[in-house]
Amino acid sequence: MTGAPTVIDAERGAHTAGAALRVVVVNGSPSQKSKTMGLVEVVLDALRTMLPVEASQVDVYRLGQGFTGATERDDVTPEIEGMLRLAENADLLIAATPVYRGSYPGMFKHFFDLIDQYALANKLVLLAATGGGDHHALVLEHALRPLFAFFQALTVPVAIFASAGDFDGVTLLNPRVHGRIEMALADVTDLLKARATGAQAPADAGTGDGTSPSSDHKSRGPAARKQYDAA
């Protein structure tokens, strides 16, 4: 598939179009019946009970030659450019992937290789992964979180992992993982509230005296960061 990203629920849950939280899932699984997406479905269902949500999904394995053949942003087709912008403009990015060889799949990384270096600065990113067993659960901390640290994104402190034994097929059963999802989403809503009211959430907190990252470059947008890094 090289068409538009799957729009999961463009209208569902929104009081007004402007009020819906734009959630974009970047899916690193090639599977049609995917445990990773089974996990994400539970996350989105729980999020919809808390907020109006407009969710879209980019399946990196289905983006085709316009994606796999591009090594730089200038090389991508307009269609792929649209997918990249969708992710760059999300209110909440969900980075969800199976573990492959102790890390994320190459195709998942390729998508982020094409994302603008500063476009995810300060963006809320929720990390989720599935693996065959629990041995590689720390892929979230050792591979995914550093990737988004490069982008200066604001990763949600609680990341979500599930392994084969937590599922019946692609249906997530383990209540411990459901609890983890609730914890992660409590962080998401707290951070969103703090942003909306201008209050300082722990992850955003600075000294307020102009010397901390929060009160200097961190609380500004991508353009300010670019300038700061170049200085």
Ligand X SMILES: Cc1cc2nc3c(=O)[nH]c(=O)nc-3n(C[C@H](O)[C@H](O)[C@H](O)COP(=O)(O)O)c2cc1C
Residues that bind ligand X (CB under 6 A): 29, 31, 34-36, 98-102, 130-133, 135-136, 164
149 or 164: whose CB is closer to ligand X?
164
Gap between the Cα atoms of 72 and 76, Å rounded: 7
Q: How far is the CB of 61 from ligand X (least distance, A)?
A: 9
CA-only gyration radius of the chain, Å: 17
Q: How far is the CB of 220 from ligand X (least distance, A)?
A: 36
For ligand X, the nearest residue by Cβ is 131
DSSP 8-class letter at 199? P
Q: How far is the CB of 50 from ligand X (least distance, A)?
A: 24
20 or 181: whose CB is closer to ligand X?
181
List CB contacts of 135: < 8 A, sequence separation 6 or more: none
List CB contacts of 190: < 8 A, sequence separation 6 or more: 201
Beta bridge partners of 167: 172
Residue with tokens 């383990």: 174
List CB contacts of 205: < 8 A, sequence separation 6 or more: 214
29 or 57: whose CB is closer to ligand X?
29
133 or 202: whose CB is closer to ligand X?
133
Q: How far is the CB of 104 from ligand X (least distance, A)?
A: 10
